[in-house]
Amino acid sequence: MTRTLLIRLPALPDDPLDWIVLSDAPLSESLANEERANEDLAKAAAAADRIIALVPGSDVASRFMALPPARFSQMQAAAAIALDDDLAHDHERLHVALAPADQPSMAGDGPSRRLVLALSDRLMAGWIARLHDCGVTPHLMLPDYLALASGQSEKEVQIFADGQMMIVALGPDDGFAIEAEHLIPVLKTHSWRAAMLAHGGGGHLRLYVDDRAGEQAGAGAKLARDLADLLPDAWEIDHAPTPPSLLDHLRKRGVEGAAANLLQGPYRRASAFLPDMRALRLLAGLLALVFFGHGLWLYLDGQRYAAEADAAFARAEAVFSHAMPDQKRIINPRAQLDQERSRLMAAGGGAGFLRLAGLLVDALAQKPGLQLVMMRYDHESESLHCDLVYQGFDDLEALKAAIEAGGGVLEDGGVRQSGDRIEGSVVIRMAS
């Protein structure tokens, strides 16, 4: 079962949408509650195989134009420039749609003669935005008079009363919408009359105008008489009752096709084989947000690790500066200490000092709260005398444990209180 969703956009932006679902069991909806309409319309759109949006024909001009052979976009631009003066509208602000070149009514006229639809680009963008807000992406968008003309023959005309507007379908691919009071003057000057006379033979005009539609009784009958004066004698006028709405009328007739689709250029619908671009943009936005958040987390975490590394290097550099005051530049404390130790050992002296100094450096690295003030090596006793500053006796005990773990012995040489810190002297020697 094929389901076609037929939506009619109102002339006024604040009015609600009307829509029907055409299927084996047609369902008609004309909703005044906009919130419920949007919710139900989105469900109907999701279940539909085809979505057709009808726009007010009074806002869409149609012309047949002979366009030079060129690319499609170039023909659109040429048509917009040609309609600039005719529509009193800047061609750069026009949206132009072209019918295919092989329309039945154009047979023999050459492929360059096309039906051209033109309207305000701002108005077109507003219609598309409203449909998207309702969760609808149409497959086909056309003026109401082309939907009324769908399936007609060349010798068939329909005039449908829609409130104060008259929707006129002339043949299968032409028409317009106009206020009721201007209908007859426009038809008198419209090219369709000459075309009907040129065809010869009979034709059929279906008039869907109630007698109660005008300000006076009998408005429909009067319009039928006026139209009879414009038509060839062989033409018949069928004055039928007006359905409740244009959608109800189209539900009975159906919408078989359309001469032109307004969804062209920037409004062209993506291929059905491609994913919904709105969902794709949402997914891309979420992925970009995830990647940005992950990148930010990595950056902040890297900054934290860099700060910790800098602090550790500064502490090691401070200890090294106290231990080796002759070194002017500290690049790699451990490597430089090993280098200095090797140099002294190669010179034949200072091996005991370097061994004890290395032991002290390793122990101080494990206890950042201890600060080395001065150290002196006694060659005779092979001991290292150090002055330290620390917070409490627990720090000294921790240093003593680290020295003993490295194979040395730490002896306390006396302490004194200095403010909130303790200054003490220690003696370090290798265990015998």
Q: Which domains does the chain have, with CATH numbers?
A: 4-269 (3.30.420.380), 296-430 (3.30.1360.100)
Residue 258: the pLDDT is 72
Tokens describing residue 213:
């539609």
Spatial neighbors of 125 by CB under 8 A, at least 6 apart, are none
- Can you tell me the distance from the alpha carbon of 179 to that of 238, in angstroms, rounded to the nearest whole number? 21
- Can you tell me the distance from the alpha carbon of 203 to that of 158, in angstroms, rounded to the nearest whole number? 11
Dihedral sign for Cα 329, 335, 339, 340, please: positive
Spatial neighbors of 65 by CB under 8 A, at least 6 apart, are 79, 82, 113, 114, 116
SS3 content of the chain, % helix, strand, coil (to 5): 45, 25, 30
Residue 38: the pLDDT is 58
Helices assigned H by DSSP within 209-255: 219-230, 246-253
CB 175 within 8 Å of CB 167: yes
Reference 323, options 363, 367, 374, 258; nearest CA is 374
Residue 290: the pLDDT is 93
- Can you tell me the distance from the alpha carbon of 63 to that of 86, in angstroms, rounded to the nearest whole number? 10
Instruction: Report, as ranges of residue numbers, the positions in the chain whose pLDDT lies below 50.
Output: 25-36, 103-110, 213-214, 271-275
Residue 7: the pLDDT is 93
Spatial neighbors of 10 by CB under 8 A, at least 6 apart, are 16, 17, 18, 56
- Can you tell me the distance from the alpha carbon of 18 to that of 251, in angstroms, rounded to the nearest whole number? 13
Spatial neighbors of 387 by CB under 8 A, at least 6 apart, are 372, 373, 374, 375, 423, 424, 425
CB 116 within 8 Å of CB 173: no
